[in-house]
Structure 1
Amino acid sequence: MSGRALEVLIVEDEMLLAIELEHLIEEVGCHPLGCAMSSEEAVTLAQQLHPDLALVDVHLSDGPTGVDVARKISQDCGGVALFMTANVKRLPEDFAGACGVIGKPYSEHGVKTALSYLNHCLREGHAPGPAPVGLTLAPAYVTLWGLDQTLAQSA
């Protein structure tokens, strides 16, 4: 992964949000791969494009299927999912294999800070410090990236 931009898939059924996320991804030096609005489209794109990171909403055009999408991306496509949802309480305890969650409504600054942070984590294999405000890391990634559990819960 080193030397090239982090490739990011957007899984979001609200087109205006998806377009905004695409711009934020580009602003932090990552490469947006495309946008999926349903779970089927998301899994198909992830299998074809092998994103490094997928920004996944829980509620998609075909229902609350984002959890299944995140699980498939992390298990079958070699990517890392990050939930971006207003439905934080609907996430399973294991985060469906995702690295964490940003709760909606989120700020432009919050998303950019989280993307930069995750870019470092994915490239280097460890966190540069505690997760930025607004980003809650999954327990498995707290351990994977060498963070103290108390530092990881900054959201």
Structure 2
Amino acid sequence: MNNFMVIEHLLAKLSEFLGADLSDANLDAPLPAMIGANASNNQSSQSRAAIPVNIARRDHLTLRQLLMRLASGRGHLLTVGTGPDIAGTMQLWFENGAADGFNVMAPLMPADLQSFVDLVVPALVARAVFAVDHQPTLRQRLGLSTAPSLAGAF
């Protein structure tokens, strides 16, 4: 997927997100030291903007490597592998208190979301960390009585 990324676009988005102009930065050098020092320029959440800066510093990434990582995972946990591999990572995070829920951000919709349902969900069910509940309505899930039908009311 990273073969399709447009560096200029990603650099502009990261600049906007961090509140700093990175257009003249060396892509093959570490993130400039001044980034993160003045979080007040950030127009979004300061704690959220600190995440890519911390990732770059912790993993000693060049600016180009950071852009590639953000293009893939958008700054979130990125896990790749078989259904059981991904289920194992999710279970590890959950059982160690690193997550209490997950948002699945499939890069290619709807195919990748379908792959998640077909490959990861069964692995989570087999590990007994996810239960498939086929109750069709929120009212049933909450144990409420069935709402009266409006059929024939008009």
Same fold (TM over 0.5): no
Give the TM-score normalised by the residue count of structure 1.
0.26
Pick the structure with more helix per residue: 2
Larger radius of gyration between Structure 1 and Structure 2:
2
